[in-house]
Homo-oligomer: A and B are copies of this chain.
Amino acid sequence: MIEFTHVYKSYDKNYILRDLSFNIYKGEFVFITGPSGAGKTTTMKMVIAMEKPTHGQINVFNEDISAIQPKQIPFLRRKIGFVFQDFKLLINRTVFQNVALGLEISGVSGSIITKNVTEILKAVELYQTKDEYPLSLSGGEQQRVAIARALVQNPSVLIADEPTGNLDFETASIIIDILKSFNNKGTTMIIATHDKTLIELGRARVIDITKN
């Protein structure tokens, strides 16, 4: 489903990724690890065409991403949920509006939005803060909003960058459980992390990008 073949990536002639190749299959649960600055975030960004590989080929849903039409990019991104390391929440929209965003841009009607958003907010234990603005949330709460926004669209792939960096062990376990349940329903999960406890908890395949 997601296929990296001999991918190289450089910023200003510094190669961050060299000859990275891996394959992620439909319905898998995969961890991507590596030390700080190894290129985990960069790798994931390339999947949703936020960054282009310097060399090599990336296939997503059996399509070559480097040849994708700019017009097609939004539709690719709607099929892939992404939890950003820095959350990327809109600070002048409430928690509810932030989570609803993904559905709104796909043109889903209002009643369905309300139903789905309410459901997912309850799952990440944030329903009571639905009318708060992101800046009045704790770091861990913001992270959970970002996760909820990615999950609410029921994407076929979910990419999460350090989704539990700001969460204590208990909350992290709850999040992992949610991710697992979505995985069981068929969503492919790709999680970047350096938290060894999380990896142990997840018990899944690990791709260490420094080793490729």
Contacts and interface: CB of A to CB of B under 8 A. Distances in A.
A200 interface: no
Copies of this chain, complex-wide, total 2
A196 B167 contact: no
Interface in A164-184: 165-171
Contact of A138 (B41, B140, B170, B196): B41
A102 to B, nearest CB: 22
A194 interface: yes
Interface residues of A, number: 28
Given A166-B85, A166-B162, A141 B37 contact: yes
Interface in A135-149: 136, 138-141, 144
B35 A171 contact: yes
A62 interface: no
A86 interface: yes
Contacts of A161: 139
Contacts of A75: none
The 5 closest A-B pairs by CB, nearest first: A36-B140, A168-B194, A165-B165, A35-B168, A85-B139
Given A35-B171, A37-B138, 10 more contacts: A11-B136, A36-B138, A36-B140, A41-B138, A41-B139, A85-B139, A139-B161, A162-B165, A162-B166, A169-B196
